[in-house]
A and B are shown apart, each in its own frame.
Chain A
Amino acid sequence: MGTPLLSVENVTVSFNGFNALDGMSLHLMPTSIRVLIGPNGAGKSTLLDTIIGHVRPSAGRVVFKGHEITRMDEYKIVRRGICRKFQAPGILDNLTVAENLNLAARRHRECWRSFSVGLNKEVRAQVERVLTLVGLNDRKHALAGQLSHGQKQWLEIGMVVASDAELLLLDEPAAGMSHDESAQTAALIRELAKQHSLLVIDHDMAFVDQLDAPVSVMHMGRMLREGTLEEIRNDPQIAAVYLGRVKEVSVA
């Protein structure tokens, strides 16, 4: 099957003695989507924190493109090709949509290479491409803070894409979106999977269904089951720990 793009191996993360991740493992192939579900507090966001270097694991390792990145600084991990969308929109409200994307799309992020005025052609082209991709072309010069909630989510997805990372980590990209918006987001993610690998966290089963991708279920800091959504749905153990509760969440 080839070598994985990302391997999370037996990772444990503890906060004051509580193991938010407890021997978690996960393998991701290039240009694929993986959906991560699990009840609140299962450790999904903590897993993303660990991959991106925000949280240091006490045991286990994270390997990306054959290199161990377990204890690297966040910005160095990002430069290797992993970018993350946060659960709460992490855009810069005082900059315009285009400026947010410019920031994400710049190829040279080292401080000593930042003393130039203007943007180079590739960055401009990249920003234009992403604007079209996420459907924010007509909002290009709007301040990011003035976008609707759904547009903010798209802008942040756009920033992650503009960064040209191979692996995109999306934490609840469709949270708070209307039915239509969430369908558009699912289509966008499927489109992105042609060139990127995506690890997508979400609660909403209707949304997950539209992603049409393998699902990993987390529970209490570790992997409970992996399979198609159909298999997961029909698994009695998962229904017991999880699906019953999810229905309530996704209806709300």
Chain B
Amino acid sequence: MKKWSALSLDIVLLAALALAPLYLSAYHLSLLGRFLALAVLSLGISVIWGWGGILSLGQGVFWGLGAYVLAMHLKLTGLAPGDLPDFMMWSGLDHLPAWWKIFEHPAVAIAGVVVIPTIAGGLLAWLVFNRRVSGVYFSLLTQALALAFSTLLISQQAYTGGFNGLTDFSTILGHPMIDPGFQRNIYWITLGVLVLASIACRWLTHTAFGRVLVAIRDGESRVRFLGYHPAAYKTIAFAFGAMLAGISGALYVVHVGVISPAMVGVIPSIEMVIAVAVGGRSSLTGVVLGTLLVNFGKDWISSAMPEMWQLAMGALFILVVTALPQGLAGIPGLVEKLVLWSKGKREAKMADQPAIALVEKD
């Protein structure tokens, strides 16, 4: 029963997204496209936080790595042969560094978008989880990393474009980026990537890996004493989340045409987590909805009352944490509970259901 209603919600959501180009204005479609790109990141956070219990406040780093790698590629393809990006010339560089040049080739750039964040995330996780750093210490560590990352990007003006970041892209794979037809295509591509990412997450969480991950979240030492190596499982989960973050960052750059340190630092990293909390961190459909809702809300509030946005975000977070710990995904359960309660079936065992219904009977 539950399974079917969840599946039909997925189908309705997918249909609504697939038909969006028919009923949304160009402006709103472009917003939706960039928010769908962010939803790819949210799926990754859902796996590492909802299933793995690992709260990262530094996903902006991996997202930013993917975004910057693609932005470097876009910057290079717009140049005449032998030219340097404008900010490099202003900074007095006289030749293109080799680690920039390699991303000129689109295949290298795309591979870099996927591989670099994955390796960075995997390496960090392996070092940290093998030292049994976890919980709030891990969250603080990742937050510090986000701060260091954005600071580094600002300070290396000659190589990163500094505070302004990378922008003024003209073409991607030979297509002019301002073309309206291109905008539509990029929407389809983003939706396709989101669907693939969400299938990958569903598969991963249904494998033995997913079950062990949940068990580690609920009782790491018990699982260790059954002969599992928790650090290995957590590392793979984290690297997977970092990979989705990188892909998301790259897609986002294609949508908005700019990447800067302000988009990858501490505040954006926290906003990413809030969107997931609002959607319900252990629901793969919930986090997509949460991401869309929070970001459309952000767009609306910050154009109406720009100074209110951070306040609203904070209030929303407090509300979700205190009143709706399972986010939007918790609402059906809550409604069901209310209905049962009003029928007088107080002893219904709703409260005792596991937070995640991923583990099938047997």
Residues of A at under 8 Å CB distance from B?
52, 54, 73-75, 78-79, 83-84, 86, 90-96, 98-99, 102-104, 106, 109-111, 114-117, 119, 124, 141, 143, 145-146, 159, 163
Contact = CB atoms under 8 A, between A and B. Distances in A.
Interface of B: 203-204, 206-209, 211-212, 214-215, 218-219, 221-229, 232-233, 236, 352, 354-355, 359, 361-362
B236 A95 contact: no
Given A54-B225, A74-B224, A109-B227, 16 more contacts: A78-B227, A83-B225, A84-B225, A90-B222, A92-B215, A92-B218, A94-B214, A94-B218, A96-B361, A99-B359, A103-B226, A111-B209, A111-B232, A115-B207, A117-B203, A143-B354
Chain B contact surface mostly: helix
Contacts of A163: 226-227
A98 B361 contact: yes
A103 B215 contact: yes
B207 A117 contact: yes
B200 to A, nearest CB: 11
Given A103-B212, A111-B232, A115-B208, A75 B359 contact: no
Nearest to A85: B225
20 contacts: A78-B225, A78-B227, A84-B225, A92-B218, A92-B219, A92-B222, A95-B218, A95-B359, A99-B211, A102-B362, A103-B211, A103-B226, A109-B227, A109-B229, A110-B232, A114-B208, A114-B209, A116-B208, A141-B361, A146-B352
Nearest to B236: A111
A79 B352 CA distance: 33
Contacts of A75: 224-225, 227-229
A90 B225 contact: yes
Contacts of B228: 75, 109, 111
Nearest to B222: A90
| Residue from A52, A96, A109, A116 with most neighbouring chain B CB atoms (10 Å) | A109
